[in-house]
Amino acid sequence: MNYEELLAFAGRNPMLSTALVGLTVALVATEIARLFRGYKSLKPAELTLLINNGGAVVLDLSASADFEKGHIAGSRNVLPSQANASHKLLANARQSPVVLVCRSGVTSHSTAKALKKQGFEQVHVLEGGVMAWQAADLPLVKGRA
């Protein structure tokens, strides 16, 4: 397909052409925003490696009742509004990897942005949250930590 054929197609199909341009711009903008957001999404296997290498602070942002039903071993339950530099679990963790976990992976992003603004260097979010952890057949611990 050459340039003239592409222009002819666009002229005959303006709605399809507009949709293609819109989707392309949206994809590019999303990827650029992801690169510059300051924190990294982790898959369950990547989180396992980070935990096994030691030093990771894993915060579960779930409600207490959900946390008690099942959480990642070693994680601590903290409400999103409490996850800040003054919290006792985070007071000395500015240089340590901090991993935020919630039930579905959605709630963690706003807390990750806030921690980055407060000077935390290694902020991570478990992509898909506890549901992704379970889908990867990884164990959960019940009760309080």
pLDDT tens across the length of the chain (145 residues) = 688 888 888 889 999 989 999 999 999 987 887 677 778 899 999 999 998 887 789 999 999 999 999 999 999 999 988 888 888 888 888 888 999 999 887 888 889 999 988 988 899 999 999 999 999 999 999 987 5
75 shares its domain with 46: yes
8 shares its domain with 55: no
24 shares its domain with 56: no
25 is a domain residue: yes
60 shares its domain with 74: yes
* Helix (H) or strand (E) segment spanning residue 42: strand 40-42
pLDDT of residue 66: 92
Q: Which domain holds residue 81?
A: 39-135
77 is a domain residue: yes
130 is a domain residue: yes
User: Is there a contact between 75 and 58 (Cβ–Cβ < 8 Å)?
Assistant: yes
Number of domain units in the chain:
2
pLDDT of residue 145: 59
